[in-house]
Amino acid sequence: MILTVTLNTALDITYRVRSLRPHASHRVSEVIERPGGKGVNVGRVLAALGHEVTVTGFAGGGTGRAVRDRLAGTRGLTDALVAVAGATRRTVAVVDEHSGDTTQLNEPGPQIAPAEWGMFLDRYEGLLAGASAVALCGSLPPGVPVGAYAGLVRTARSFGVPVLLDTSGEPLRRGVAARPDIIKPNADELAELTGSHDPLRATRDARRRGAHAVVASLGPDGLLAATPDGHWQATPPARVHGNPTGAGDSAVAALLSGLVERLPWPDRLSRAVALSAATVRAPAAGEFDPAVYEELRARVPVTTVLSAP
Q: How far is the CB of 169 from a copy of itself (least distance, A)?
A: 12
Dihedral Cα 283, 297, 231, 204, nearest 10 deg = 20
> Closest separation between CB of residue 36 and a copy of itself, Å?
14
Binding map of a copy of itself across residues 253-282, x = CB under 8 A, - = no contact: ------------------------------
How crowded is residue 107: how many other Cβ atoms within 10 Å of its Cβ?
16
Binding mask 226-245 for a copy of itself (x = CB under 8 A): --------------------
One-letter amino acid of 41: N
Near a copy of itself by CB under 8 A: residue from 5, 7, 10, 17: 17
Selecting among 166, 181, 205, 249, the annotated active-site residue is: 249
Q: Is 283 in the site for a copy of itself (CB under 8 A)?
A: no
Using CB under 8 A, which of the segments 36-44, 97-105, 195-203, 259-267 binds a copy of itself?
97-105
| Cβ-based neighbours of 122, under 8 Å, separated by 6 or more | none
- Distance between CA atoms of 12 and 65, rounded to whole angstroms? 13
Query: Can 249 be counted among the known catalytic residues?
Result: yes
Applying the rule CB under 8 A, the residues between 158 and 217 that interact with a copy of itself are none
Nearer to a copy of itself, 20 or 191 (CB): 20
Identify the residue among 1, 70, 74, 96 touching a copy of itself (CB under 8 A).
96
- Residue selected from 4, 6, 8, 15 as contacting a copy of itself according to rule CB under 8 A: 15
Side-chain-side CA neighbours of residue 57 (13 Å) = 35
From residue 298, give the alpha-carbon distance in Å to each of 131, 234, 273: 29, 12, 11
Q: Closest distance between a copy of itself and the C-beta of residue 71, in Å?
A: 14
Question: Considering the complex, what minimum distance in angstroms separates the CB of residue 108 from a copy of itself?
Answer: 7
Residues 268 and 300 sit within 8 Å (Cβ to Cβ) = no
How many residues does this entry show for the chain? Answer: 309
The whole-angstrom separation of Cα 46 and Cα 69 is 19
- The C-alpha angle 289, 264, 52, rounded to 5 degrees, equals 50
Measured from the CB atom, is 23 or 75 closer to a copy of itself?
23
Q: How far is CA 118 from CA 122, 123, 204, in A?
A: 6, 9, 35
Distance of CA 111 to the CA centre of its chain: 22
Quote the DSSP letter at residue 35. E
Q: Which of residues 105-164 bind a copy of itself (CB under 8 A)?
A: 105-108
- Compute how many residues bind a copy of itself; rule: CB under 8 A: 31
Nearest to 230 by CA among 162, 307, 300, 301: 307
Residue type, 138: G
Applying CB under 8 A, among 74, 102, 132, 155 the residue interacting with a copy of itself is 102
Name which of residues 32 to 91 contact a copy of itself (CB under 8 A): 62-63, 65-66, 90
Q: How far is the CB of 106 from a copy of itself (least distance, A)?
A: 6
DSSP 281: H
Q: What is the DSSP letter of 77?
A: E
Span of 96-104, 161-169, 215-223, 274-282 interacting with a copy of itself by CB under 8 A: 96-104
Tell me which residues are annotated as active site. Answer: 249
Residues near a copy of itself (CB under 8 A) are 13, 15, 17, 20-29, 31, 62-63, 65-66, 90, 92, 94, 96, 99, 101-108
